[in-house]
């Protein structure tokens, strides 16, 4: 007789998974947000200006370490992320879940505490560069293990419990983008802003640790964990019975594990490839192309030169100052903040709506159609450009494309991640969740690699 599952009282498990999802991506987003701080530490001490309003006008004075920082940072982030997610897919059954999750959170928190301390410690550019890259490798390695373990845990629960993880990850990006805008607006020193970033990240990770400690005590989570434990012996018994009836053939347990992984992948291969394709298109376009889009406000664009806009500010000097200010905030707001807000909204919507279904042809068609965003953004006012003309001059086009692009990324990716573990048997759900997390990371890595080619085509 089937036993009905208990209620998730006060949405406790849902909120804990949301908090863990936030803790998964917040560290990496804070490192990206603090890029100005890291590059400022790589300048010659005689030419360092720690103001948050520092411009990039003196590009010719940039050191080699400063110029290569973003490329090396991406490489040191994506390769460990992909490798450790792959390892987690195969080794998650050998290492206890509690050790993987708690160990990863504590190591990431320790790295951020060390990073906060190093803000106040003077270092030469080369040692600082090396230490920073080592920290990025550690954070993304253990972040990959944490993410894979988290999706595996969610796979044991109803499909809707993948949504809070995706939503929490979306909030992490939104939080980081908002922090970037606040830093520009405050005009505070980069050292102070960076110290605040890293301390805030430590607090969030500490809350994630406390949330995970509370998770096993909740009845709702206990029920599904116990059901998974009960399911495994039943499966083992049925396998043993079949083996005893099949001419006494011996089965190597290691071979059984490999066949099991392949069997699970065969059930979810389409959803795994779809989530990979989704993030390949997204990271291939954002931010490599979108962050280089320039507003037409300051150079006499259509709405900057309109009589309506000029009537708002009659003083010509004040008008020009307003245009410069709006241009300064264009990318932080219309690119980073808008993307993360709409992505977060798309991820969160799957809590209330999960259309189209996992077997619907609409889902793969919608994901493949997102490839059309690539030429649309290329034809916006991306500067500098060598090959393509600018077709969408008005800033409104860029903002419109960004809303659709970000929302579709969050919604469609979240659907795939929710459906994946539900295409397999309950006791296979954790492995399926880990496989889906691997293909998500593979999409991020492929997108980062292809972004150089896509940007060169503009």
CA 98 – CA 21 distance, rounded (Å): 16
Q: How many CB atoms lie within 10 A of CB 300?
A: 9
Let me know: does 25 contact 77? Beta carbons within 8 Å: no
CA 273 – CA 276 distance, rounded (Å): 5
Tokens found for residue 101? 């999750």
- Expressed in angstroms, the distance from the first to the final Cα of the chain is 62
Domain 11-52+62-230 superfamily per CATH: MFS general substrate transporter like domains (1.20.1250.20)
Q: What is the dihedral of CA 419, 421, 424, 425, to 10 degrees?
A: -130
Q: How many CB atoms lie within 10 A of CB 53?
A: 12
Provide the pLDDT for residue 254: 44
Peptide bond into 111 cis (omega under 30): no
Residue in the structure block whose two tokens are 């889906």 = 436
CA 407 – CA 443 distance, rounded (Å): 17
pTM of the model: 0.74
CA 118 – CA 130 distance, rounded (Å): 13
CA 418 – CA 160 distance, rounded (Å): 7
Q: How many CB atoms lie within 10 A of CB 355?
A: 11
Peptide bond into 368 cis (omega under 30): no
Let me know: does 358 contact 423? Beta carbons within 8 Å: yes
Q: Which residues in the chain come in under a pLDDT of 50?
A: 1, 45-60, 239, 241-247, 249-259
């Amino acid at each position: 007789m089937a036993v009905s599952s208990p209620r998730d009282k006060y949405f406790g498990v849902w909120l804990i998974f949301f908090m863990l999802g936030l803790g998964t991506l917040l560290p990496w987003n804070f490192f990206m947000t603090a890029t100005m701080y890291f590059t400022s530490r790589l300048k010659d001490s005689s030419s360092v200006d720690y103001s948050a309003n520092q411009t990039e006008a003196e590009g010719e004075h940039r050191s080699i370490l400063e110029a290569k920082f973003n490329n090396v940072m991406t490489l040191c982030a994506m390769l460990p992320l992909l490798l450790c997610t792959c390892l987690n897919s195969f080794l998650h059954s050998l290492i206890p879940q509690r050790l993987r999750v708690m160990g990863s959170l504590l190591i990431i928190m320790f790295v951020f505490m060390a990073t906060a301390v190093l803000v106040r410690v003077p270092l030469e550019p080369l040692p600082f560069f090396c230490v920073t890259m080592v920290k990025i490798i550690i954070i993304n390695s253990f972040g990959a293990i944490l993410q894979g373990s988290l999706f595996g845990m969610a796979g044991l629960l109803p499909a809707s419990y993948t949504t809070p993880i995706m939503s929490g990850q979306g909030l992490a990006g939104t939080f980081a983008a908002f922090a970037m805008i606040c830093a520009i607006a405050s005009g505070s020193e980069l050292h102070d802003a960076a110290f605040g970033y890293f301390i805030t990240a430590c607090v969030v990770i500490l809350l994630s640790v406390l949330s995970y400690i509370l998770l096993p005590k909740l009845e709702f989570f206990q029920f599904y964990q116990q059901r998974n434990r009960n399911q495994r012996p039943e499966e083992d018994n049925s396998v043993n019975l079949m083996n005893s009836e099949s001419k006494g053939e011996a089965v190597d347990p290691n071979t059984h594990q490999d066949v099991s992984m392949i069997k699970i992948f065969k059930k979810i291969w389409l959803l795994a490839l779809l989530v990979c394709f989704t993030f390949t298109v997204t990271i291939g376009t954002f931010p490599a192309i979108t962050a280089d889009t320039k507003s037409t406000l300051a150079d006499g664009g259509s709405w900057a030169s309109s009589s309506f806009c000029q009537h708002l500010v009659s003083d010509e000097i004040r008008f020009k100052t307003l245009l410069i200010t709006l241009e300064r905030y264009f990318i932080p707001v219309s690119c980073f903040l808008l993307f993360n807000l709409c992505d977060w909204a798309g991820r969160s919507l799957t809590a209330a709506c999960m259309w189209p279904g996992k077997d619907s042809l609409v889902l793969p068609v919608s994901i493949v159609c997102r490839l059309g965003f690539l030429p649309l953004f290329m034809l916006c006012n991306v500067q500098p450009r060598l090959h393509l003309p600018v077709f969408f001059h008005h800033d409104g086009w860029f903002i419109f494309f960004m809303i659709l692009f970000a929302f579709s990324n969050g919604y469609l990716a979240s659907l795939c991640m929710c459906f994946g573990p539900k295409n397999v048997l309950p006791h296979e759900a954790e492995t399926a969740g880990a496989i889906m997390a691997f293909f998500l990371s593979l999409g991020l890595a492929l997108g980062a690699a292809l972004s150089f080619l896509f940007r060169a085509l503009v």
